[in-house]
Structure 1
Amino acid sequence: MSYEDGPSMFQDQLAEKVRPFIDLIDDMRSIGIDKELPLPTIAVVGDQSSGKSSVLETLSGVALPRGTGIVTRCPLLLKLCNDRSVRWKAVISYGGKFSSDFDEPSEVVRHVEQAQNTLAGKGVGICEDLITLQITSSTVCDLSLIDLPGITRVAVKGQPDDIGAQINNLITKYIKNKRTIILVVVPCNVDIATTEALKMAQEVDPEGTRTLAILTKPDLIDPGAEKNVLEIVHNRVIVLNMGYVIVKCRGQKQIDENMSIARAIEDELEFFQNHEHFRSLLRQEKATTKCLATKLSNALVKQIKKYLPQMSEKIKEQLADVKIALSKIECGPPLEPAEKRKYLIQVITEFNEQITQLSTGDIIVEENLFELMRKAFIDWMECLKYAKSNYNDEVQQVVNEYDKEHRGSELPGFSNYRAFQHVVQKLVAKLKDPAMATLEKIREMVQKQFDQLSRESFKNYPYLQKFSTMNIERIQEDQSKIVKERIKEQFEMEMQVYTQDEIFNKYNLEEGETTDNSEHDTRSKYPGLLKSYYEIVVQRLADQVPMLIRYFILKQSAKIVCSEMLDLLHRDNTDDILQEDLEIGHYRAKLQAQADRLLLANDKVSSL
Structure 2
Amino acid sequence: MENLIPVINKLQDVFNTVGSETVQLPQIVVIGSQSSGKSSVLESLVGRDFLPRGTGIVTRRPLVLQLIHLGRDDVETRTQDGTFIKADEFGKFLHTKNKVYTDFDEIRQEIVNETDRMSGTNKGICSEPINLKVYSGKVVNLTLVDLPGITKLPVGDQPADIELQIRDLCLKYISNPNSVILAVTSANTDFATSESVKLARDVDPEGRRTLAVITKLDLMDAGTDAMDVLCGRVIPVKLGIIGVVNRSQADINKKKDLQEALKDEAIFLQKKYPSIANRNGTSYLAKTLNRLLMHHIRDCLPELKTRVNVLIAQFQSLLASFGEPVEDKGHLLLQIITKFASAYCNTIEGTAKNIETAELCGGARICYIFHETFGRTLESVDPLGGLSTRDVLTAIRNATGPRPALFVPEISFELLVKRQIRRLEEPSLRCVELVHEEMQRMIQHCGTQQEMLRFPKLHERIIDVVTNLLRRRLPTTNAMVENLVAIELAYINTKHPDFSEAHFVHRSVYDTESSNHPTRALTKDMVAKHTEEKDKPEQPVMKLSTREQRDCEVIERLIKSYFLIVRKNTQDSIPKAIMHFLVNHVKDNLQSELVSQLYKKEEVTLLEESDHIAARRKEAQEMLQALQRSSHIIGEIREIHLW
What is the CA–CA distance in structure 1 between the aligned matches of 2:603 and 2:611, rounded to whole Å?
16
Match of 1:550 in 2: 579
How many angstroms does 1:130 deviate by?
0.9
Against the structure 1 CA distance between its residues 433 and 557, is the aligned structure 2 distance closer, same or farther, given a 3 Å change threshold?
Answer: farther
Match of 1:305 in 2: 298
C-alpha change, 1:406 and 1:239, in structure 2 (3 Å) is: same
What's the CA shift for 1:104? 0.6
Q: Which residue of 1 aligns with 2:438?
A: 448
Identify if the C-alpha distance between structure 1 residues 346 and 421 changes in structure 2 by more than 3 Å, giving closer, same or farther: farther
1:101 equivalent in structure 2: 99
Q: Structure 1 residues 571, 432: closer, same or farther in 2, change over 3 A?
A: farther
Distance 2:558 2:250 in 1: 124
The number of residue pairs the alignment matches comes to: 558
- Structure 1 residues 430, 131: CA separation in 2 closer, same or farther (over 3 Å shift)? same
The CA distance in 2 between the partners of 1:45 and 1:531, in whole Å, is: 87
SS of residue matched to 1:572: helix
Residue-by-residue CA offset, 1:375-426 (whole Å, 9 max, x unaligned): 5675698699x8599x9x99x9799658733879xx989x9xxx66775565
Match for residue 264 of structure 1? 261
What is the correspondence of 1:108-507 to structure 2 with a 5 Å cutoff?
A: 108-221=107-220, 224-225=223-224, 228-272=225-269, 275-282=270-277, 285-315=278-308, 326=318, 330-331=321-322, 335-336=325-326, 338-357=327-346, 366-367=360-361, 368=364, 369-370=366-367, 372-375=369-372, 404-405=400-401, 423-424=413-414, 427-428=417-418, 430-458=420-448, 460=453, 462-470=456-464, 472-489=466-483, 497=491, 507=497
Q: Secondary structure at the match of 2:328?
A: helix
CA distance in 2, matches of 1:424, 1:548: 26
Range moving further from structure 2, 309-318 or 207-216: 309-318
Change (3 A) 1:425 1:604: farther
* Cα distance in structure 2, aligned partners of 1:53 and 1:455: 57
User: Equivalents in 2 of 1:379, 1:576: separation in Å?
Assistant: 45
Contact 2:34–2:151, Cα closer than 8 Å, also in 1:
yes
- Aligned pair partner of 1:565 in 582, 594, 613: 594
- 2:64–2:146: 8 Å Cα contact kept in structure 1? yes
After the TM superposition, which residues 513-528 of structure 1 pair with which residues of structure 2 at under 5 Å, given as runs? none
Q: Give the TM-score normalised by the residue count of structure 1.
A: 0.74
Which one-letter code corresponds to 2:298 in the other structure?
Answer: K
Cα contact 2:183–2:212 (8 A) shared by 1: yes
Letter in 2 for 1:57: E
d(CA) in 1 for partners of 2:93 and 2:160?
A: 31
Change (3 A) 1:464 1:259: same
Q: Is the 8 A contact 1:45 1:184 kept in 2?
A: yes
For the structure 1 residues 305 and 382, does the alpha-carbon distance in structure 2 shift closer, same or farther, using more than 3 Å as the test? Answer: same
Q: Is the 8 A contact 1:62 1:108 kept in 2?
A: no
1:575 corresponds to which of 578, 596, 605: 605
Task: Note the alpha carbon deviations across 1:271-314, whole angstroms, 9 max, x for none.
Answer: 55xx43434434xx313322111100111122222333344445
Residue aligning to 1:80: 67
2:265/2:281 contact within 8 Å kept: yes
One-letter amino acid matched to 2:578:
I
Following superposition, the deviation at residue 532 of structure 1 comes to: 12
Contact 1:43 1:180 in 2 (8 A): yes
Q: Equivalents in 1 of 2:576, 2:330: separation in Å?
A: 39
Deviation (angstroms), 1:77: 1.1
Counterpart of 1:53 in structure 2 is 39
In the TM superposition, what whole-angstrom CA distance separates every residue of 1:77-121 from its partner, at most 9, and x where no partner exists? Answer: 110111321323322125xxx545314142211221122111211
Q: Which amino acid in 2 is paired with 1:65?
A: L
- Unpaired runs of 5+ residues, structure 2, are 76-87, 504-550, 638-643
Code of the residue aligned with 1:354 in structure 2: it is: A
Query: Which string of whole-angstrom CA distances, capped at 9 and with x for unpartnered residues, describes residues 140-168 of structure 1?
Result: 21111111222334443333344344333
CA RMSD between the two structures: 4.6
Secondary structure of the structure 2 residue equivalent to 1:440? helix
Cα separation, partners in 2 of 1:172 and 1:549, compared to 1, 3 Å: closer
Counterparts of 1:530 and 1:185, CA distance in 2: 95
Cα distance change on mapping 1:463 and 1:21 into 2, 3 Å: closer
TM-score norm. by structure 2 comes to: 0.71
AA at the equivalent of 2:297: I
Measured against aligned partners, the alpha-carbon deviations of 1:425-481 in whole angstroms (never above 9, x if no partner) come to 653463244145213213312431342233432562554554455555554444332
Other-structure match for 1:10? none
Q: Read off the aligned partner of 1:72 and give its amino acid letter.
A: T
Counting aligned pairs with the same residue, the percent is: 25
- Provide the rounded CA distance (Å) in 2 between the counterparts of 1:495 and 1:290: 104
The separation in 2 between residues aligned to 1:160 and 1:531, in whole angstroms, is 80
- Find the residue that maps to 1:135 and give its secondary structure: strand
Paired with 1:399 and 1:153, the residues of 2 have a C-alpha distance of 91
Secondary structure of the residue aligned to 1:276 is helix
| Structure 2 SS opposite 1:104 | coil
Residues 301-329 of structure 1 deviation map (CA, whole Å, 9 limit, x = unaligned): 222223333444455556666667x39x9
SS in 1 for 2:276: helix
For 1:77, the aligned partner's letter is: V
Q: CA offset at residue 15 of structure 1?
A: 3.7
The more displaced of 43-52 and 531-540 is 531-540
Between 38-47 and 104-113, the greater mean CA deviation after superposition: 38-47
